[in-house]
């Protein structure tokens, strides 16, 4: 059924499309069409996503029951930054709309937290969207403060959250 695998270059285009599809599936009561279009106007190149993913530690959840372009379907992805200043920052957590509510985000988060603990990370942080805030609260994160990102002239509100691993 579902398997967690490390990110692979062969999935770069799938990750790009998944990100775009997940953004545009968000209910407009959460984020307006203008917000979503600024967040992801169109899928970015596979090259963009490949570079982003290899500069971090990233995992995919694949659905081994379904194939696309000769690969099991990527149903979600997560990545964490490892740089000195951004160490432990969760850069992305996205689940394809068809797989939302099926435990994919939990599988991804558990893989990330286990790896982070094994690496000796003391804290995790994330800029969570309105949509993902309850998910991160359920994993023991606390809200530090609201956060704002400007994308293509749209100000998109979220929450800077953190969790101690100590």
CATH assignment at residue 78: 3.40.630.30
Span 106-136, pLDDT tens digits: 999 999 999 999 999 999 999 999 889 999 9
Position 138 scores a pLDDT of 97
Which domain, by its residues, includes 46?
2-124
Closest CA to 113 of 93, 83, 127: 93
Span 6-63, pLDDT tens digits: 999 999 999 999 999 999 998 988 888 888 888 888 889 999 999 999 999 999 999 9
Within 13 Å and on the Cβ side, how many CA atoms surround 104? 24
Asked whether the predicted pLDDT for residue 143 surpasses 90, the reply is yes
Domain assignment of residue 159, yes or no: no
Domain assignment of residue 116, yes or no: yes
Which string of DSSP letters, residue by residue, matches 94-115? Answer: EE-GGGTTTTHHHHHHHHHHHH
pLDDT over 70, % of the chain: 100
Q: pLDDT confidence of 144, banded at 50, 70, 90?
A: very high
Position 57 scores a pLDDT of 96
């Amino acid at each position: 059924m579902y398997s967690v695998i490390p990110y692979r270059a062969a999935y770069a285009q799938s990750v790009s499309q998944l990100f775009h599809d997940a953004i545009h599936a968000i209910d407009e009561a959460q984020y307006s069409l203008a917000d979503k279009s600024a967040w992801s106007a169109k899928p970015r190149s596979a090259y963009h996503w490949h570079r982003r993913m290899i500069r971090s530690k990233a995992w995919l959840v694949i659905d081994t029951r379904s194939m696309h372009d000769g690969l099991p379907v990527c149903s979600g992805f997560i990545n964490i930054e490892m740089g000195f200043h951004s160490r432990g920052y969760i850069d992305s957590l996205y689940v394809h709309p068809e797989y939302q509510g099926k435990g994919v985000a939990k599988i991804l988060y558990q893989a990330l937290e286990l790896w982070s603990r094994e690496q000796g990370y003391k804290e995790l942080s994330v800029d969570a969207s309105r949509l993902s805030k309850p998910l991160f609260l359920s994993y023991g994160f606390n809200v530090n403060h609201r956060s704002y990102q400007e994308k293509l002239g749209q100000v998109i509100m979220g929450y800077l959250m953190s969790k101690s691993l100590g």
